A and B are shown apart, each in its own frame.
Chain A
Amino acid sequence: MSSDQTRDDPITERRLGRGDFLKLGALTAGTGILAACGADDAPEPSGAGGTTGAAEPAEEHPPIEQEQGNLEVFEWAGYEYPAYGGEDGVLKPYIDQRGKPKFTFLTSDDQALGRVRAGYRPDIVHPCVDYTGNWVEMGVVQPWDTSLLTNFADLEEPLVTGGQIDGQQYFIPADWGFSSPLYRSDHVEPDGEESWALFYDDRYEGKISWWDSPLENFVIWGYVNGIEDPWEMTDEQLDEARDFLMSKKHLCRNFWSSQTDLDADIAAGNIWIAYAWAGSYVAARDAGLDVVYSEPKEGRLGWNCGFVLGAETENFRHAHEFVDIWSSVESAEWIINNYAYGHANTSVDLAKVPEDYVSVFHLDNPEARQEPNAHYARPVTTERRAAYAQRWDEVKAA
Chain B
Amino acid sequence: MKKRGGLVLALAVFAAAALASTAGAGSSAVTRSQAVSCKSTLKLGMVAPFTGGAGFLGNEQLSWAKYAVKTLAPKYGLKIKLVTGDTPVEQGPAPAQTLAQKFVADKSVVAVIGPSTSGAVAASSQVYRDAGLAHISESATRTSLTKGSALEATSAFFRVVPGDYIQGPTDANFMIKKGAKNVVVIDFQEPYSQGLADAAENVLDKKGVTTTRLSIANTVTDFSSFVTKVPSSADFVFFPTQKPGDAQNFAQQLIEQGKKAKVFGGDGSNDATQFKVPGSFVSNFAPDITGIAYNKPLIAGWQKDNPGKAVGSFGPPTYLAVQVALNAIKRACDAGKGSIKERADVVRNVKRIFVKNSILGGDFRFSTKSNDPLNAKFYIFEIQSNGSYKLVG
Our verdict on whether A and B bind, yes or no, reads: no
Q: Report B's interface with A, CB cutoff 8 A.
A: none
